[in-house]
A and B are shown apart, each in its own frame.
Chain A
Amino acid sequence: MQYKLFTLTFLIFIHTIVAQNDSTKIKRVPIDTIKPQLNMDAVYNRPFLQYGKTPVALGGYVEANTQYAVTDGVTEGFSFQMRRMTLFVASTISKKIKFLSEIEFEDGTKEINIEFAALDIEFHPLFNFRGGVIMNPIGAFNQNHDGPKWEFVDRPISATQLLPATFSNVGFGLYGKLYKPKFVWAYELYLTNGFNDNITGNDQNKTYIPATKLDPNRFEESYNGEPLTSAKTSLRYKRLGEIGLSYMGGVYNKFEEDGLTLDKKRRADIFAIDFNTTIPKAKTVITAEWAWTFVDVPDTYTQQYGNKQQGGFIDIVQPIIKKKMFGFEKASFNAAFRVEYVDWNIGTFNETGQNISDDVFSIVPAISFRTSQQTVLRLNYRYQWQTDILGNPASKTAVIQFGISSYF
C-alpha cells in the first residue's frame, strides 16, 4: 500500500516538474468567493493548480513546526516536527462529475492515509451522490482541517482526541445545498464502514473514539458488518454565520463471528454542534465546535472507561494589520486565542459519588503572520491543565510552538 502511494506521489511531482517547464501554463484555480461557503465545501474550496486545459488540478499543503514543551518542570527539549504534507488531486470528469483525492503523509512517512478519494455526481443541487473514501461530516473541523486555514499549530484536542479527526471511511451517501438570497442550507448523509472495539480496548486507558482509526482493515471491510451513519445539516445566514448540527453513530463492537453471538450490539453515538462567523466591522473570526459522545461500555468493564464524554473549542482570530508588508501584497498580522476542553468521562464514581475527572483544559494565545490566505507563520503558546480520573492535582504543560503552513 505504501509503495503504491509513494509511486502516485512521485508521478504527481513529475507531473508538476514538467508543468514548471512552462510556468505560464500553470493557473491557480480561483476559489469560489461568490457563493456563500460552508464547512462542507472545504474539500473543494482549496487553492488548486491547473496545467493548461487539463481537467486535472493539483494542490496540497505542508505543515512543519518547532516546539518546546515543559510538563511539571520536565522538558524533553526542542523538537522539530514535520506534522504533515498533503497532496490533492481533483479531476473534473464531466460538468457534473468530479473526483477529488487527498493523500496525507503525517510525521514524515509514519502515517500515510487516503483521507479523501470520492466521486461526486450531481443530479440536482439538492441531490448529489458521493462515493468512495469520504470524510465523515462530524463537527466542523473534520472536513475543514487544512493547516493553512488555522492560526494554531495543534489541531483542537476535542477534534482529535475526543472526535477522531481526521476520520475517513469508505462509503456512499448524498448531499445537497439550497441557495437563497439570505441563506444557504445544506445536508449530508452517508453510510460508511466505521467503528471497532479499539474504542474501549486501547492504550489510552479510557474510552477513546480516535483509537478506532487504528484498525488497518477499515478501508477493506466493515469490522462488524454494521454501517456507520453520518449526517449533518448546516445553515449559513448571510450576516449571522454558519451553524451546523451533526451526528455520527453506529455499532462499534464485534457482536458475532461465524454466526455465533459474542456480545450484544454496542453503539457509539456522537452529536456535535459547530458555529462560525465573522463580525463585520472588526473582521473578528469566531469558530467553535462542541461534541457529546455516548458509548455503550459494558457494565462489566471498569469505570476507567466512561460512557459519556464531551468537549469542544472556541477560536477567536482578530486581524490586527492588513496591508502590504515585507513585499507581500495581501499580508496580515493576526492575534488569536483558543480555549478548549475535553472531559473523557462524565459521571460519578459508584463507590464514592464523587465526580470522575479525566479531563483537559487549555488556553492557546497566538499570533500569526499571513503572507496571503495561503501561507501562515504562527507563534503559539499553550498552557494546559490535565487531570486524571480521580481529580488529583492537574498536570500542567506549557508549550511554545512556531510553525509554518502553506498550500502549494
Chain B
Amino acid sequence: MKNKIVALFILILFVIGCRKIMPKSPKDDELLDGPIEGLTTQETAQFLKGDVAFNDDVFTPQNGLGPLFVATSCGSCHAGDGKGHPFTTLTRFGQIDSTGNQYLSSGAPQLQNHAIPGYQPETLPVGVGFSKILPPANTGLGFLDAVTDADILAMADPNDADGDGISGVCNWVTVPSYCQHRANYISQGGKYIARFGKKGAAYDLLQQTANAYNQDMGVNSAFEPYDTYTKLEVDPEVSNVTVHDVVFYLKTLKAPVQRNQNDADVQSGKQIFIALGCEKCHKSQLTTGTSNISALSNKTFYPYTDMLLHNMGSALDDNYTEGSAKTYEWKTPPLWGLGLAKNSQGGSYFLMHDGRASSIEAAILLHGGEAQSSNNNYQSLSENDKQNLIKFLESL
C-alpha cells in the first residue's frame, strides 16, 4: 500500500511538473506575428487560413513554382513575418524615371535569379541600373493600409514650404484594374497615391501580394496571369481565395509592441530622436480611417513612418526607381519592430533598403539628402546620448 501511495505521489508530481517543463510562449512584445486584437470569429478563421498559405505553402515545379523564381514560399523571405535576409534579396532593374521601365522585354522589373531544373535564371542586362531590395517586415501593414490618402497628403511638403529641409512626396502610380480604390481616395492626373514597397509604388496589399506570387515565386494568379518566363497569359496557379486570404492575413497582422518604453534611457533616446529631427519623416503616430475590418477602424498607432518619399542622397541612389519616385528617393520605412529585426535576420542586422547596414548606427550614418542634417546631428551627440538613441530604436 505504501509503495502505491509513493507511486501515486510521484505520478502527481510528474503531472504538475509537466507544466513547468513545457516551453512557454514568448512574450507578445517579442514576436512579430499574431493577429491584431478584436477580430471576429470569421476574421480569425480567415487570418489562420492566410497564415497557412503564407507560412506553410511551399511551391515546387509540380504546383506552380517558376520556371523562374526568387524564392519558394512567402515565408522564405519573411521569417517570423520580420525583415528579410540578404539570401532572399530581390533585384529590380530597368527604370530610371517616371516614364516607365525600359527593360520589360528583358525580364524587368524584377530579376528572377533562380530557375527550376532545365531552365536558366535571368541575368541583368549590361549597364542597367538596379536596386537590391531586402524583404520588409509584414507587421502592422493593415494599419498602414487604412490610413487615408488625405492624411498622407497632409504630411507631404513637396516644395518644403515650412523650410525645414524635409520635403516628402507621394508616389503617384497607375493602379492595376484588379485593385479597388480606397474610400475617399485622391487622384491626380489619373494616378493614385501608392504606399507599399521600398519605393512606395504598390497601391495596396492585393497588388503587393499578387506581384509577389508572380515575380518572387513565378506563381500566376487571376490577378497577375502573365508568366515571367514565357510572357504569356497562363492558367492561375494559386486561387483567388488563397490570394485574398493572404492579403487578409497581412492586413490583420498585429503591430509590433514596443518594449521597455518606461526605461529612462529609452525615454531619453526618444527625446533625442525628436530633437535630431528624425521624427519629421519617421512620424511616431498615425491614425487609421474607416476600414471594413472594424478592428482596424479609427485606430491610433505608432509606426514611425510618414509613408512618403524622401531624397536620401547620392549614396543611396541606385539608378533605379518605380512609379513617380526619383532614383534617389525612398519611402520612409516604418521603424516599429526594428529591435526585433535580428530575430528574423539570423541574429544580425541587415538594414536600409538593401541590407547594407549591419547596425542601427551604420544605418543612421547612411542617411543623406533630406536626412543629412539629422545624420550630422547624430554624429555630434555624446556617446551616452547615442547609446540612448540606439536603445530607444531597439525598443521599437
Contact = CB atoms under 8 A, between A and B. Distances in A.
Interface of A: 68, 70-75, 197, 200-205, 253, 262-263, 266, 298, 300-304, 349-352, 354, 357, 381, 383, 388-393, 396-398, 400
Interface stretch (B23-31, B220-228, B314-322): B23-31
B171 interface: no
Given A392-B347, A393-B343, A202 B58 contact: yes
A349 B60 CA distance: 21
A349 B87 contact: yes
B23 A300 contact: no
Contact of B23 (A205, A352, A398, A400): A398
Given A71-B23, A73-B25, A381-B21, A201 B344 contact: no
Chain B interface, DSSP helix/strand/loop, else mixed: loop
22 contacts: A70-B22, A70-B23, A73-B23, A197-B61, A202-B60, A205-B75, A253-B117, A262-B118, A298-B116, A298-B117, A300-B116, A301-B117, A349-B87, A352-B87, A352-B348, A383-B23, A389-B76, A389-B79, A390-B87, A390-B345, A392-B347, A400-B18
Given A300-B119, A392-B80, A392-B343, A201 B87 contact: no
B85 interface: yes
Nearest to A396: B23
Nearest to A400: B18
B207 to A, nearest CB: 24
Contact of B58 (A204, A253, A303): A204
A398 B118 CA distance: 42
B380 interface: no
Nearest to A399: B22
Given A201-B60, A262-B117, A390-B79, A303 B87 contact: yes
Chain A interface, DSSP helix/strand/loop, else mixed: loop
Contacts of B115: 298, 300-301
A331 B343 CA distance: 50
Name the residue among A71, A349, A393, A398 with the largest chain B CB count within 10 angstroms.
Answer: A393
A392 B346 contact: yes
B87 A351 contact: yes
Contact of A201 (B26, B62, B80, B346): B62
Name the residue among A300, A351, A389 with the largest chain B CB count within 10 angstroms.
Answer: A300
Interface residues of B, number: 39
B95 interface: no
Contacts of B313: none
B118 A302 contact: no
B344 A392 contact: yes
Contacts of B18: 68, 400
A390 B23 contact: no
Contacts of A262: 117-118
Contact of A302 (B62, B76, B117, B119): B76
A203 B60 contact: yes
Given A205-B73, A351-B87, A301 B25 contact: no
B343 A351 contact: no
Contacts of B116: 298, 300-301
B197 to A, nearest CB: 21
Interface in B12-49: 18, 21-26
Contacts of A75: 22
Nearest to B68: A300
Contacts of B23: 70-73, 383, 396-398
Interface string B325-347: 00000000000000000011111
Contact of A391 (B26, B69, B72, B347): B347
Given A202-B60, A398-B22, A301 B86 contact: no
A351 B21 contact: no
Contacts of B73: 205
B277 interface: no
Nearest to A302: B114
